Structure 1
Amino acid sequence: MVGTSSPGIVELLLNVHRVHDWCTETQESCKSTFVLKGPWFAKMNLVATCDPANAHYVMSSNFENFLKGPEYKQMFDILGDGIFNSELDLWKNQRIAAQGFLRHHLFHQFLLRTSRDKVEMGLMPIIDHAAKHGLVINLEDIFQSEQAIFYRHVKPRSFTKLQKWLNIGQEGKYKKASKVVDDVLSEYICQKRKEVNKLNQQLVSKDGVDILTSYITEKESTGLKCDDKFLRDTALNMIIAATDTTSTALTWFTWLVSKHPIVENKIIEELESKIPIGETKWRRLFNVDEVKNLVYLHGALCEALRLYPPVPFNHKEPVKPDIVPSGHLVHPKTKILFCMYSMGRMKSIWGEDCYEFKPERWINERGEIKHEPSYKFLSFGAGPRICLGKETSFIQMKAVASALIYNDRIHVMEETPVVSAVSSVLHTENGLMTRISKRWE
């Protein structure tokens, strides 16, 4: 094994409450990669890295030798056999089917309609109500289930099972959440099947089609067993991919913009450039076509994702022994942990100003979006398993961000510190407590 001295399990446990920053500091001192071995019951034999060369090797050039592994599926068993947990042929078949549905023009119609509807009829009425009455609101939903999942990484499996049986602690919370998820999705799938049986082709052409409907109606062409269990797993995977991570990204983006008024003004100026000449400055929602090519807004979102990736860790396990580019030997029982939070804070990758929030980092000399290699910017993954919903995510984030920033001023409550939580999704520890005021009276 190569590299400088690595930390021990005790050091990790002493810093578990600030694990993201601790990993960053440790990787900075260990040249982007360190080894961590714990006692047998902690299930910890890992190589933690934020080296882009390692990411490219594991996720792209030698992809076939690195899987998520059986322990990943056990830790995230709530996701069932969905696309996140699945491997090999099951994963390939699901990805091919999902890719086809996501690219279909009917899904695109559905996405445009629902993105607008959620902002207009879901988000903005709440924001307007809070502004009108001077309420303090939390802009982030707290998802208990991801917090519970995190602790499976550092506790013995026997203790995890005991908690599950006794219905206590983080496992008890997780068990209750799983039951609620199963009940809700079961009812939703039942309703969706009834809707499909009554589908009106004229309505489909107008409103578009969601992915679950596509799986039900196109089950023969997918080659997949589209029973209720499969639909439950697929629905939950898509909900987490499209909702939990997107809402987390928007929370950090909103917080960062509120702390950088110059960035906020530049976003507003860019949005104003899309307003027809002669139109009065007033409360306004932007169409997807108006915001999808906004360069500065896109750069600001990428910069927020760089500093606060919704999924801060990802891990792989080698099928056969291998040596990664950093020189570390890995065996089938070794976890390779990619630390995306740390990667965004490495001076060797992003320069001396890596801790600064600078949307200009993503804009080239011609004023166009600067595309960084995926193995350097891992918020959407890399290689064959790169996120299928990347463009969908940007559409949703731009719809929300444009409406919120253009129409309202966000005042973050300073008495409630904004810090990252110890969770498998990078929520804030205390939420994002804010007071809203209208920009256009």
Structure 2
Amino acid sequence: MELLQIAYFLLFLATLTWLLSTTFSSSSTSKKAPPNTNVPKVYPIIGSIFSIAANKHRRIHWISDILLSSPSSSTFTLRRSLGSRQIFTADPAVVHHILKSNFPTYHKGPTLHRALGDFLGDGIFNSDGSNWKFQRQLSSHEFNTRSLRNFVETVVDAELSNRLIPILSQRCETAITATCSCDLQDILQRFAFDNICKIAFGYDPQYLLPSLPTTTFAKAFDDATRISSERFNCAVPLVWKIKKILNIGSEKRLRTAVSEVRVLAKKIVDEKKRELEEKKTLQSVDLLSRFLVSGQNDESFVTDIVISFILAGRDTTSAALTWFFSLLANHPRVEEEVVGEVNQKNHADGSSVYDELKDMVYTHAALCESMRLYPPVPVDTKEAANDDVLPDGTFVKKGTRVAYHIFAMGRSEKIWGPDWAEFRPERWLRRDGEGKWAFVGVDPYSYTVFQAGPRVCLGKEMAFLQMKRIVAGILKEFRVVPAVAEGVVPEYTGYLTSLMKDHLCKGKTFMLRVGFEPTPFRTRTLIWRLRPTRPSQRFDVNP
């Protein structure tokens, strides 16, 4: 072990010496700064490695700044080390090109697969070609109207009525005599995790319980997500590859985390196999059953599928709802509209929960508006299989990564107009002939929250149904109010999916203090306490 540490230290010294010598020898090039001061300086061999490292903690906002500050182009080429390049765009025409017009050229690619492979394996979000088509074709059966109706009227309703609302109510009752805190983002993740496991695998992990149990799986899943994302965005990929060979640092933690995640995923697969063996016919066929009865016997591959769907179902909807409740509390007019719509839908006409949710037009628009500003997935990346030229004239060499920046696109004045910073659900609505709100969609290549083209998100409608049901369930009984220190703005960050930054190493920051207080809308108030380590002065939304 000592020899390995010495070897790693010598490698570090050699790399540092090389970087410094290259920087000084290239000092003359730094005088030729581009007109746009947001664009990072480029040095021979090492590219923009210093800017990449300096902005590691705010990578999403940094690239967004560059894309949105250019008066002429919404496409930018980032020069990485050793001649590697990555193209970022916030141009809908370019997005249409890579997601639809020239779809065969742009795939996930080997770079992404190497970085995320230890965690996601060959799951649907990390695969291309026939492997991707097979998984998508089988998965599509789970998103028909019958499955969606069953999902919201049984799985979501049961989790809401039997777990989420009782937990929040219990804390309200406790708070009459004492202050009780909990992490709302964590609760929403638990809710979403139970839901995706039930509907996709027929398995109840019982993660959302009154005790809010701490599990090794949850921490391991978060660690695997974060480290895999850091791998993909690493300024010098050679660093993580060497650490993997030596099994040290973050790579050692990743190996441990992935092992923990696969223990649960394998348990889910094994239980489903036993269920299929014991019963000749199943009362309901879930996603995992479909894959197993399709003749797919590779246990590692099926485990990859389970992990991918947990990632999609657990983190995306919970992130979207966290930001939604935060925005709603700061915009009383929108809150009143949403609550009014929620209170109207109460089985008054004998309609089902599913039909009521489909008819919650204003809430749907408010969720779309929230995800425009705070998308659950901030950036999506493809890799060019062949040389290509983008609609704006940018040349793309084979093997180049091309990323459409969803976060930047949601804040683009070119797309949304001068009021882009306003949280205004009405931009998605119009009045019909009877004066009622009617939803008006936008170009999917301008609003890329759910991707577009052949790889458009299969779970889009399921996600909206789940989110609207949670919103309705909570707002019928509670008013969610963030108690935020003056001048503090919630901080958006992201790995494979987005988060409201919680500084896990220093304690929770997005806290929910539950108290009893009559309100014009409901009978109880949930007071949401936000305590970031440091205030974020930028990227806030106008009140």
Normalised by the size of structure 1, how large is the TM-score? 0.89
Deviations, residues 153-185 of structure 1 (Å, cap 9, x unaligned) = 124333213433555443333222201111111
- Partner residue, 1:84: 125
- Of 212, 220, 237 in structure 1, the residue corresponding to residue 288 of structure 2 is 212
Q: Which secondary structure state, in structure 2, belongs to the residue aligned with residue 337 of structure 1?
A: strand
Q: Which runs of 5 or more residues in structure 1 are unaligned? A: 280-285
- Of 435, 451, 456 in structure 2, the residue corresponding to residue 381 of structure 1 is 451
- Partner residue, 1:130: 171
- Partner residue, 2:162: 121
Aligned residues of 1:407 and 1:440 also touching (Cα < 8 A): yes
Aligned residues of 1:310 and 1:425 also touching (Cα < 8 A): yes
Aligned residues of 2:152 and 2:469 also touching (Cα < 8 A): no
Q: Which secondary structure state, in structure 2, belongs to the residue aligned with residue 336 of structure 1?
A: strand
- Partner residue, 2:215: none
Aligned residues of 2:371 and 2:449 also touching (Cα < 8 A): yes
Deviations, residues 297-356 of structure 1 (Å, cap 9, x unaligned) = 000111111111111011111111111112100011311111100000000000111111
- Partner residue, 1:29: 69
Aligned residues of 1:306 and 1:377 also touching (Cα < 8 A): yes
- Of 79, 84, 90 in structure 2, the residue corresponding to residue 50 of structure 1 is 90
| Segment of structure 1 superposing worse, 53-62 or 119-128 | 119-128
TM-aligned CA distance change 1:250 to 1:319, over 3 Å: same
- Partner residue, 1:282: none
- Of 514, 527, 538 in structure 2, the residue corresponding to residue 436 of structure 1 is 514
Q: How does 1:340-359 map to 2 (within 5 A)?
A: 340-359=406-425
Deviations, residues 255-309 of structure 1 (Å, cap 9, x unaligned) = 1112112211111100111225699xxxxxx933322220110001111111111
Aligned residues of 2:378 and 2:494 also touching (Cα < 8 A): no
TM-aligned CA distance change 1:328 to 1:378, over 3 Å: same
- Of 37, 40, 43 in structure 2, the residue corresponding to residue 7 of structure 1 is 40
- Of 304, 309, 326 in structure 2, the residue corresponding to residue 233 of structure 1 is 304
Q: Which amino acid letter does the alignment assign opposite residue 55 of structure 1?
A: V
Matches of 1:239 and 1:108 in 2, distance apart?
A: 20
Matches of 1:312 and 1:278 in 2, distance apart?
A: 40
TM-aligned CA distance change 1:306 to 1:428, over 3 Å: same
Matches of 1:392 and 1:36 in 2, distance apart?
A: 36
- Partner residue, 1:151: 230
In the alignment, structure 1 residue 93 sits paired with structure 2 residue 134: yes
- Partner residue, 1:187: 267
Q: Which runs of 5 or more residues in structure 2 are unaligned? A: 1-33, 42-47, 187-218, 503-508, 517-521, 525-543
- Partner residue, 2:472: 402
CA RMSD of aligned residues (A): 2.4
Matches of 1:197 and 1:104 in 2, distance apart?
A: 29
Q: Which amino acid letter does the alignment assign opposite residue 159 of structure 1?
A: V
| Segment of structure 1 superposing worse, 85-94 or 294-303 | 85-94
Q: How far apart are residue 365 of structure 1 and its match?
A: 3.5
Q: Which amino acid letter does the alignment assign opposite residue 80 of structure 2?
A: G
Matches of 1:257 and 1:341 in 2, distance apart?
A: 19
Q: Which secondary structure state, in structure 2, belongs to the residue aligned with residue 393 of structure 1?
A: helix
TM-aligned CA distance change 1:96 to 1:32, over 3 Å: same
Normalised by the size of structure 2, how large is the TM-score? 0.73
Q: How does 1:105-120 map to 2 (within 5 A)?
A: 105=146, 108-120=149-161
- Partner residue, 1:413: 483
- Partner residue, 2:394: 328
Q: Which secondary structure state, in structure 1, belongs to the residue aligned with residue 498 of structure 2?
A: coil
Matches of 1:403 and 1:107 in 2, distance apart?
A: 18
Q: How far apart are residue 45 of structure 1 and its match?
A: 0.9
How many pairs were matched up?
Answer: 422
Q: Which amino acid letter does the alignment assign opposite residue 198 of structure 1?
A: E
Deviations, residues 51-83 of structure 1 (Å, cap 9, x unaligned) = 000000110011011111101111111111111
- Partner residue, 1:140: 185
Aligned residues of 2:269 and 2:302 also touching (Cα < 8 A): yes
TM-aligned CA distance change 1:34 to 1:435, over 3 Å: same
Matches of 1:397 and 1:429 in 2, distance apart?
A: 21
- Partner residue, 2:206: none
- Partner residue, 2:495: 423
- Partner residue, 2:462: 392
Aligned residues of 2:138 and 2:290 also touching (Cα < 8 A): no
Matches of 1:364 and 1:106 in 2, distance apart?
A: 30
Aligned residues of 2:66 and 2:76 also touching (Cα < 8 A): yes
Matches of 2:153 and 2:236 in 1, distance apart?
A: 45
Q: How far apart are residue 50 of structure 1 and its match?
A: 0.8
TM-aligned CA distance change 1:144 to 1:262, over 3 Å: farther
| Structure number with higher relative contact order (C-alpha < 8 Å, ≥ 6 residues apart) | 1
Q: Which secondary structure state, in structure 2, belongs to the residue aligned with residue 413 of structure 1?
A: strand
Deviations, residues 107-163 of structure 1 (Å, cap 9, x unaligned) = 752453111122122322221222222322211138333221222112433321343
TM-aligned CA distance change 1:158 to 1:12, over 3 Å: closer
Matches of 1:189 and 1:45 in 2, distance apart?
A: 40
Matches of 1:277 and 1:236 in 2, distance apart?
A: 40
Deviations, residues 198-231 of structure 1 (Å, cap 9, x unaligned) = 3485x71xxx4321122223x15xxxx3432222
| Segment of structure 1 superposing worse, 361-370 or 5-14 | 5-14
Matches of 1:107 and 1:391 in 2, distance apart?
A: 8
